[in-house]
A and B are shown apart, each in its own frame.
Chain A
C-alpha cells in the first residue's frame, strides 16, 4: 500500500518535472552534441581540402555528384549520406580570402545550400521530398560554378517535365544522362550548357 502511494506520487511528480525541464534538456543536448570535433579531425586527415582557390569547391561538387548518383538510382539513404557530406564540405570552406562582394554572395548561397541539404538528410523514406530540394540545391551549385569557376567541366542538364512547372536542371560531370528527379533509367534530360 505504502509502496503504491510512493510510486504514484513519484510518477506524477516526474511528469510535472519532465515537462518543466524538457526544453532546457533539449538545449543542453544541442550544446554537448556528438563529439563533432573529433570526427572532423579524422575526416580532415583522410580527405584534405585543397587550399587553392579553385580547388575550394571540388569537395562540394564531388559530394553533390554522389547525391545525383544516389537519387538517380532511387536510393534515399545514400542521398541523405551524400547531403550530410555536402554539409560537411560547406562547413570546411573558408570564405575569408574571397573578395568582399563575392563573400556576401557566397554566404547567401552557402546558407541556402545548408538548409536544402539538411532537408535531404532529414527525409530518408521520402525520396520525393528529397528530390524537391535538389531543384534549389542544383541552382545554388550552378551559381557557385558561375561565380568561382570549376576545375573540371560540368554539364547543366535540363529536364523540362521535372521539378518546377518550367522544368528543372541538375549538374553532371559526365555527358551520360542519369536523371536524379525520376530515377531508374529515365532518359529525360538535355545538356544545355557546359561550364568549364
Chain B
C-alpha cells in the first residue's frame, strides 16, 4: 500500500515536471504595448497610463508577465486569455482599422468599462493595481466617447 502511494506521487510529480517543458510562446514585442495606438491617436498620457496598467496585458502586442506565468499550467491559461483578449481588441492594431470599426470598438470599450465588465474580475484578483476607480473609469469613458465622434 505504502509503495502504491509512493509510486502514484512519483508519477504525478513526473507529469508536473514534464508539462513544464511545454511552454506557450510569449506575447512580447520590441515596441512598447499600446505605443502604435498612442502615437497615431495622440492619446494623452493619463489615458495611456491607465490603459497600460489595466488593459494592455491582454489587449496589445506586449504583455507584462508575472513570475508565475513561467509555471504550467498557469502559463497556458494566461496564453489563452491573451489570445481571446487580443481577438476582441488589440490596441496596437486599432490604427489600421476603418473609421467605422474604430467607432464600433470605441463604443464597446466605453460600455465594457462603464458596466465594469472590464478589466475582468479574474484578472483583478491577480492584478489588484489594475482596478479602475470611478474617476478613472470616467476619464477612459470620456476619451473613448470622444473617439466615437471622430
Report A's interface with B, CB cutoff 8 A: 1, 4-5, 8-9, 12-13, 15-16, 19-20, 108-109, 111-112, 115-116, 119, 128-129, 132-133, 135-136, 140, 164-165
In the complex, whether B133 has a CB less than 8 A from a CB of chain A is no
Report B's interface with A, CB cutoff 8 A: 4, 7-8, 11-12, 14-15, 18-19, 22, 72-73, 76, 98, 100-101, 103-104, 107-108, 111, 115, 117, 145, 148
Name A132's contact: one of B19, B111, B148 (CB within 8 Å). B111
Measured between beta carbons, the chain A residues less than 8 angstroms from B22 are 16, 19-20
| CA gap between A21 and B14 in the complex, in Å | 20
Measured between beta carbons, the chain A residues less than 8 angstroms from B15 are 12-13, 15-16
| 7 cross-chain pairs, A with B, having the tightest CB-CB distances, nearest first | A12-B15, A132-B111, A136-B104, A8-B11, A108-B98, A108-B100, A8-B8
Name A164's contact: one of B101, B107, B115 (CB within 8 Å). B107
Whether the pair A12, B14 counts as a contact (CB closer than 8 A) is: yes
Measured between beta carbons, the chain A residues less than 8 angstroms from B8 are 4, 8
Measured between beta carbons, the chain A residues less than 8 angstroms from B107 are 132, 135-136, 164
| CA gap between A164 and B51 in the complex, in Å | 21
Measured between beta carbons, the chain B residues less than 8 angstroms from A116 are 104
Whether the pair B108, A132 counts as a contact (CB closer than 8 A) is: yes
Measured between beta carbons, the chain B residues less than 8 angstroms from A16 are 15, 18-19, 22
